[in-house]
Amino acid sequence: MSVMEILLPVFVQVLLTFVLLFWTGYLRAADLRGGAVKPKDIALRQPNWTQRTLQVGNAYHNQLELPVLFYALMILLLVTRQADFLQVALAWIFVLLRVVHVYVHVTSNRVQVRGPLFGIGAIVLLIMWAVFMARVIAVA
């Protein structure tokens, strides 16, 4: 697999995270400018933003949780030269599940839909890690 093929799903995940970061910043600035939120009400990270801002902000924060394990694994796959078609296909499945998860999070925010998407993504990532660990241990 080429480096580009391996890194492309990582780039999409990074782009998704930055989109949500800047969207959250825009909404927070609008809340403050419009007077919907006072600085003293959020200075200590209190969840006093408007509902929409919290919704998008929570979607952003979700990108700093499970995807951290994804980033670490992708780097390890590159360094150890263990990236193959299976791992890249699973990486794309993980990232596409994250995109759909974000879409649900910032639209209907239906936990009954969002939760299973998160869970399936976690299982895909677990499989990626299990395959990687098994291969590394088998070589050792």
pLDDT digits (tens, 9 = 90+) for 65-88: 999 999 999 999 999 999 999 999
For the CA atoms of the chain, what is the radius of gyration?
Answer: 18
From CA 119, how far away is CA 98, in angstroms rounded? 11
Instruction: Report how far apart, in Å, the C-alpha atoms of 102 and of each of 1, 18, 97, 108 are.
Output: 28, 13, 9, 10
State the pLDDT confidence band at 139, using cuts at 50, 70 and 90: confident
So where are the chain's domains?
A: 3-20+51-139
Q: What are phi and psi of 30, to 5 degrees?
A: -65, -40
Average pLDDT of the residues of the chain: 97
From CA 138, how far away is CA 122, in angstroms rounded? 24
Please say whether the beta carbons of 59 and 88 come within 8 A: no
* Three-class secondary structure of residue 50 per DSSP: coil
Angle between helical axes of 111-139 and 85-106 (0-180°, round to 10): 160
Q: pLDDT per residue over 15-52, tens digit each?
A: 999 999 999 999 999 999 999 999 999 999 899 999 99
Q: What are phi and psi of 37, to 5 degrees?
A: -135, 140
- Asked if residue 140 has pLDDT above 80, the reply is no
| Number of neighbouring beta carbons within 10 Å of residue 71 | 13
